[in-house]
């Protein structure tokens, strides 16, 4: 007799209580689907796109395989694809030709984001246009606001320019304005500027709990927005601080945010869960560029099953409590989900 058989003779077959037999729920695909707690759908996704100047440009982003910088004339095609995949929203980042100390490219009437927004609203009025409000892609120093003489980022002067940016994006037709700069008080000031400007119907999605993360590396390559000196730790949040994240979300809601965000997603899923439990507002999580790049790199080496790992990751973000996921995987995930449904 093997030792396993010896052991078995000492265990009564019915010593495992029937009520503890959970595998009954996992017997078939039908049963697994019936008891599934979290569902992932293309309508959960917001797809981020980098918009650049020029015509006919589709320039691949080296550190984000599958993503490209697109010129404005390419956006109608992109919008049609998103609509056909049932992805409701696009998030725009601009890469201007010229940068200056104040980031004026962010708020000028014919800025890259303003042009892109108009083109998208023309082509697909139903597609929700979300615009990122920040100065880092537009400043020659690469910080998210304007600088004092000592190189520190001025809060209130930056907020004024951010409000100007938000207003010009609303004028161009943006549906959702998403400030990602991390200056204090920007949500309240932007809300006021929009309301006074006749845009009280536009929605504010606050990057409320945005951490000073190394996972933004590929984005900064893509947007050419890495700070030229120093880092963002004096305005983005310190990664170890979860309670502070809850305070930031509460503050932004009090200032008029309609929706709030935790960013990045994966190393901060505890905060997605906590925010879900504490607040009733729609909650977004940003599955950022570095998170995307990690999976793409592993998949490109055949180290992981890309489809399963991506869908498992996105489902995990939903299970933690996010209503919406900003993700570069949106289009491929929507295709995989459609195939499973069909
Ligand atoms: C702009 C901004 C950044 C991201 C979104 N908005 C970069 C940063 O804060 O440095 C990062 C998104 C990503 O990594 O996918 N401030």
**48 φ, ψ (degrees, to nearest 5):** -80, 140
Distance 219 CA to ligand 1 centre (A): 6
Q: Strands 58-60, 68-71: parallel, antiparallel or unpaired by DSSP?
A: antiparallel
Q: Does the residue 166 lie in any domain?
A: yes
Which of 63, 93, 142, 180 gets mutated to test ligand 1 (max ligand atoms within 8 A of its CB)? 180
Residues tagged active-site: 210, 263
Q: Does the residue 30 lie in any domain?
A: no
Q: For residue 318, what is the domain's CATH number?
A: 3.20.20.70
183-192 tens-digit pLDDT: 999 999 999 9
CB 256 within 8 A of CB 191: yes
Query: How far is Cα 148 from Cα 182, in angstroms, rounded to an integer?
Result: 17
Name which residue sits closest to atom 2 of ligand 1, judged by CA: 180
Please count the structural domains in the chain. Answer: 1
259-289 tens-digit pLDDT: 999 999 999 999 999 999 999 999 999 999 9
Q: Does the residue 153 lie in any domain?
A: yes
Helices 306-320, 330-341: inter-axial angle, 10-degree rounding: 100
95-154 tens-digit pLDDT: 999 999 999 999 999 999 999 999 999 999 999 999 999 999 999 999 999 999 999 999
Q: Where are the beta strands (DSSP E) in the chain?
A: 45-52, 58-60, 68-71, 89-95, 128-133, 176-179, 203-210, 259-263, 283-287, 324-327
Q: Does the residue 159 lie in any domain?
A: yes
Q: Would the CB of 113 count as within 6 Å of ligand 1?
A: no
Name which residue sits closest to atom 5 of ligand 1, judged by CA: 180
Q: Does the residue 131 lie in any domain?
A: yes
308-313 long-range contacts (CB < 8 A, ≥24 apart) are: 310/336, 311/40, 311/336, 311/337, 313/266, 313/287
Q: Does the residue 13 lie in any domain?
A: no
State which ligand 1 atom lies nearest to the alpha carbon of 236.
9
Domain span at residue 222?
37-341
Which of 132, 135, 216 gets mutated to test ligand 1 (max ligand atoms within 8 A of its CB)? 216
pTM of structure: 0.95
SS3 of 26, please? helix
State which ligand 1 atom lies nearest to the alpha carbon of 326.
15
Distance 220 CA to ligand 1 centre (A): 7
Q: Does the residue 10 lie in any domain?
A: no
Q: Which two tokens stand for residue 317?
A: 């973000």
Average pLDDT, stretch 246-265? 98
Q: Does the residue 6 lie in any domain?
A: no
- pLDDT interval class at 212 (50, 70, 90): very high
State which ligand 1 atom lies nearest to the alpha carbon of 292.
15
């Amino acid at each position: 007799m093997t030792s396993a058989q010896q052991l078995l003779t000492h265990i009564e077959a019915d010593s495992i209580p029937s009520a503890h037999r959970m595998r009954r729920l996992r017997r078939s695909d039908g049963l697994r689907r019936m008891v599934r707690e979290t569902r992932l759908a293309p309508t959960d996704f917001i797809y981020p796109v980098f918009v650049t100047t020029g015509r006919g440009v589709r320039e691949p982003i080296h550190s984000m395989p599958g993503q490209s910088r697109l010129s404005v004339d390419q956006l109608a095609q992109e919008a049609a694809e998103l609509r056909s995949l049932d992805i409701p929203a696009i998030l725009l980042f601009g890469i201007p030709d010229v940068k200056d100390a104040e980031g004026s490219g962010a708020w000028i009437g014919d800025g890259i984001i303003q042009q892109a927004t108009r083109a998208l609203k023309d082509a697909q009025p139903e597609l929700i246009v979300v615009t990122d409000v920040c100065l880092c892609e537009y400043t020659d120093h690469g910080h998210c606001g304007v600088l004092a003489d000592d190189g520190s980022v001025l809060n209130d002067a930056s907020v004024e320019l951010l409000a100007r940016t938000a207003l010009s994006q609303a004028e161009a037709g943006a549906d959702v304005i998403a400030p990602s700069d991390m200056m204090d008080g920007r949500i309240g000031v932007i809300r006021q500027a929009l309301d006074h400007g006749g845009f009280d119907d536009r929605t504010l999605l606050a990057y409320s709990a945005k951490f000073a993360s190394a996972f933004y590396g590929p984005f900064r390559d893509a947007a050419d927005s890495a700070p030229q000196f120093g880092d963002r730790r004096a305005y983005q949040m310190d990664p170890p601080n979860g309670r502070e994240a809850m305070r930031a979300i509460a503050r932004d809601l009090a200032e008029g945010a309609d929706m709030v965000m935790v960013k990045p997603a994966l190393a901060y899923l505890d905060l997605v869960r906590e925010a879900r439990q504490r607040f009733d507002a729609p909650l977004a999580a940003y599955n950022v560029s570095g998170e995307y790049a990690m999976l793409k790199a592993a998949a490109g080496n055949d180290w992981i099953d890309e489809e399963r790992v991506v869908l498992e990751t996105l489902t995990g973000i939903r299970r933690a409590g996010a209503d919406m996921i900003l993700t570069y995987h949106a289009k491929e995930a929507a295709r995989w989900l459609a195939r499973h449904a069909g």
